[in-house]
Amino acid sequence: MIVTVVNQKGGVGKTTTSVNLAYVLARTRNVGLLDLDPEGGTTVSFGMRREKVEREIGGKSVNIFDVEVFPAHLGLLRRELEGDVESTVASVRKVAEGFDVLVVDTPPNLGTLSLSATVAADKVVVPVTPQPLTMEVLKNLDSRLKGLNKRALAFTNGSKKPLKEGASSIEFVDVAIPQSRVFTDASRLGVPAVRYDEFRFRNGRLTQHYNALAKVITG
């Protein structure tokens, strides 16, 4: 199963979602995490640096906390500019063959890499924050999803209360992940926030939230 996390708006928690979703799924499944964002947010979140070399998609991986992480590299910029969606879709699907679940983090746009990951996906996940421009952004994404004949599951990030919005190709689920300083601290340390939260508190709340999200996605 390929789970692509997408939203053309930055700052909504795509990377946070990808990292922590992969981490909780890896407890019961063989999970890969593919960083398709040239900025390498997912890569940094696992304590690594974006590689300053060009590689093919899936060309290198590192196992961290039972998640097989495919770090970002300079070759992603070339892929984005070349615009070869068909080839990129094939590459993502090839990487997914080795896993029960491949989680894919995407750039904050609807360019080649995001589009390819969406086309390749079995499940599309959209993190949404309660901000004034949220619905306008979702309308654009909804239109793109319609054109691809894809549907997406959206959940609320940065709030205790789930949003109840909706669009023809986007279904809002009853999951809300509140703001927490744990995300900032964990990012600085290069570990998933769920792992850091469990280290600090035996029954970390973040674990419950991401387990609920994982259940909705894979159920």
Residue 20, pLDDT score? 97
Q: What is the DSSP string of 83-96?
A: T-HHHHHHHHHHHH
CB 21 within 8 A of CB 217: yes
Query: Which tens digits make up the pLDDT trace of 100-129?
Result: 999 999 999 999 999 999 999 999 999 999
Cβ-based neighbours of 54, under 8 Å, separated by 6 or more:
73, 74, 75, 78
Residue 165 has pLDDT above 80, yes or no: no
User: Which has the higher per-residue pLDDT, 19 or 11?
Assistant: 19
How far is Cα 78 from Cα 80, in angstroms, rounded to an integer? 5
User: Domains along the chain?
Assistant: 2-218 (3.40.50.300)
Average pLDDT over residues 176-187: 91
Q: What's the helix, strand, coil split of the chain in %, to 5?
A: 40, 20, 40
**DSSP-assigned letter for residue 147:** H
pTM listed for this prediction: 0.96
How large is the average pLDDT for residues 27-31?
Answer: 97
Report the percent of the chain where pLDDT is more than 90.
Answer: 78
Who has greater pLDDT, 111 or 51?
111
204, pLDDT greater than 80: no
What confidence category does residue 87 fall into, taking pLDDT thresholds of 50, 70 and 90?
very high
Q: Which residues contact 23 (CB under 8 A, 6 or more apart)?
A: 65, 67, 192, 194, 195, 210
